[in-house]
Amino acid sequence: MQYMFLIYLDEAKFAVMSQPERDAFGNGMLDYDEELKASGHYVTAEPLKAPSEATTVRRWNGALTTTDGPFMETKEHLSGFVLVQARDLNEAIQLAGRMPLATVGSIEVRPLDVLERS
């Protein structure tokens, strides 16, 4: 099964860090990707730009509208994702728990769904 790890981070926590500290997380995540590739769990992974770069799109009642920023006002923002192939949810949780960013942020683990034409 494939599982999406949605990485939620509070930018305030990074603002107070030194540059080497921030770099350690970035490099740690790249190492983590390599580890996932080596173990055959890796599908894809990308970071996302800051929430201030986000645009929320809606087409409610037929009219296209856009708003600046993310949909929800929360302290932690979606900051990146990793898609893995794992045996089951417990293996996925294990993999997510080893992610360096799990020590400062929250990782939401969601199984991918299958959308079938009906």
Residue with tokens 């993310």: 70
Report the number of secondary-structure helices (H) and strands (E) in the chain. Answer: 3, 6
Q: Which runs of E-coded beta strand occur in the chain? A: 2-9, 42-47, 55-58, 65-68, 77-85, 106-111
Q: For residues 4 and 54, which CB has a smaller minimum distance to another protein in the complex?
A: 4
Work out whether 90 is an interface residue with another protein (CB under 8 A).
Answer: yes
In the complex, minimum distance from the CB of residue 55 to another protein, in angstroms, rounded to a whole number: 31
Cβ atoms of 80 and 48 closer than 8 Å: yes
- Within 99-118, which residues bind another protein (CB under 8 A)? 111
Q: Rounded distance, CA 40 to CA 84, Å?
A: 9
Q: Which of 27, 39, 56, 65 touches another protein by CB under 8 A?
A: 39
Of 81, 79, 77, nearest in space to 5 by CA: 81
Span of 7-15, 47-55, 72-80, 83-91 interacting with another protein by CB under 8 A: 83-91
Minimum Å distance from CB 1 to another protein? 7
Asked if 76 is part of the footprint of another protein (rule: CB under 8 A), the reply reads no
Give me the residues that bind another protein (CB under 8 A), please. 1, 39-40, 87-91, 93-94, 111
